[in-house]
Amino acid sequence: MSLDPVTALLDVGSKVIDRLWPDPIDANKAKLELYKLQQDGELQVIAGQLQINAVEAAHPSLFVSGWRPFIGWVCGFALVYQFLAFPMLEWVSASFNVAAPLPLELGTLITVLGGMLGLGTLRTTERIKKVARK
């Protein structure tokens, strides 16, 4: 594998394409799109962002590398509130004729959570490769 991040990303992308598309014609079309990204400079931007992410995740400060766990906890607490606490509070408020608490906007929460689940995969990969903080 090359030390140049763009070439390395291109090599990995080609290997992934070969595994995902067993038909050589479809694989060649996908590789052509990958080479177009390289020519347009977009592949270099992606490689640069991956390097920034790796440096950021390896930082010892919680304020730099801890944003993923923070957002994960926020989403977790919001889901607990939305699906457990809010229905119980609503029932209690109806029983005592008190104004009901406000629900969360679930659409935005699910969007953020969906993104976090994708980032959770990266966190798992870091732990498997033993590059994550303890």
Query: What's the pLDDT score for residue 43?
Result: 66
pLDDT (tens digit per residue) in 14-48: 777 777 777 888 878 887 777 776 666 666 777 77
Interval 105-125 mean pLDDT: 73
Residue 113 lies in domain: 61-134
Both 131 and 65 in a single domain?
A: yes
Domain total for the chain?
A: 2
Both 22 and 69 in a single domain?
A: no
Query: What's the pLDDT score for residue 52?
Result: 73
Q: Rounded to two decimals, what is the model's pTM? A: 0.41
Q: What is the 3-state secondary structure (H, E, C) of the chain?
A: CCCCHHHHHHHHHHHHHHHHCCCHHHHHHHHHHHHHHHHHCHHHHHHHHHHHHHHHHHCCCHHHHCHHHHHHHHHHHHHHHHHHHHHHHHHHHHHCCCCCCCCCCHHHHHHHHHHHHHHHHHHHHHHHCCCCCC
Comparing C-alpha atoms, which of 84, 83, 80, 102 is closest to residue 93? 102
pLDDT (tens digit per residue) in 70-106: 777 788 888 888 888 889 999 999 899 888 888 878 7
Query: What's the pLDDT score for residue 62?
Result: 67
